[in-house]
């Protein structure tokens, strides 16, 4: 059980670091203007490609850590 939690935590840390340095945030900002040209509403949208890619990196890193940890335990036993 502890191996699973440490694998997820390690995957989260690795994914956060890799996403910060290698993936760019491309969120959209949309401004709606009124009749006189004044901005009436500003909409900020999330970049779902960034969120999806960061999640996939986290899962891959977690699975890799778990697999390597399991192999090391089998070699020691």
Cβ–Cβ < 8 Å for 8, 62:
yes
* Bridge partners for 59 per DSSP: none
User: pTM (2 decimals)?
Assistant: 0.72
Task: Give the pLDDT score at 7.
Answer: 93
DSSP 32: E
Determine the 3-state secondary structure of 18 from DSSP: helix
* Contacts by residues 57-60 (CB-CB < 8 Å, ≥ 24 positions apart): 57/14, 57/15, 57/18, 57/19, 58/11, 58/12, 58/14, 58/15, 59/11, 60/11
Domain ranges of the chain: 2-76
> How high is the mean pLDDT in each 10-residue block of the chain (77 residues)?
90 90 82 84 83 91 94 91
What pLDDT score was predicted for residue 69? 93
């Amino acid at each position: 059980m502890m191996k699973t939690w440490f694998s997820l935590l390690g995957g989260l840390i690795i994914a956060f670091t890799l996403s910060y340095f290698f993936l760019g945030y491309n969120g959209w900002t949309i401004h709606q203007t009124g009749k006189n040209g004044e901005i009436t509403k500003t909409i900020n949208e999330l970049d779902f490609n960034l969120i999806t890619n960061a999640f996939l990196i986290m899962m891959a890193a977690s699975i890799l850590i778990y697999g390597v940890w399991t192999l090391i335990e089998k070699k020691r036993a």
